[in-house]
Structure 1
C-alpha cells in the first residue's frame, strides 16, 4: 500500500473515530468535555463510540443551554 493511500485511510478513520466529539462541538453541547473523554478513552470499543454519539445527540435541558442572561434575577456579580 503506497504511503499516500495509507495516510488517507488513517485520516478518514480518525475523522470517523472523533465524529461524536465533532458533533458535540458543532452543536455547542454543554457536556463536550464528558463526550470527549468517553470518545477518546472508550471510543475504540463499539459500545463506547455509540455511547459518545448518543451523548452528543442527547437533547440539552432548555434552562441550561447557552450563556446566562446577565439581567436574570439572582445573578450576583
Structure 2
C-alpha cells in the first residue's frame, strides 16, 4: 500500500491564530444546524461568538470551511 493513501493535506486559509474551544464548538454546532454546504449561514451564525480582537474576516466562509475540515481531520472517530 502506498504511504500517501488515506492522508489528506489540510487546506490552510485565513488567519493562523488558533481558534478558541468556544469558537470551535460554535462552528461545529452551526454546521450541525446549517449543514456543511451552507457556509454563508454558518459564518453569519457564529460571528457574535468571536473572541475579542478577532479581525473582521475571522469567520469568513472560506476560513470556516477550512477550520471545519481541520476539525474533522484531527478529531478521532468514536469507538
TM-score by length of 2: 0.28
Task: Say which structure is richer in helix.
Answer: 1
For the pair shown, the structure with the greater C-alpha radius of gyration is: 1
TM-score by length of 1: 0.28
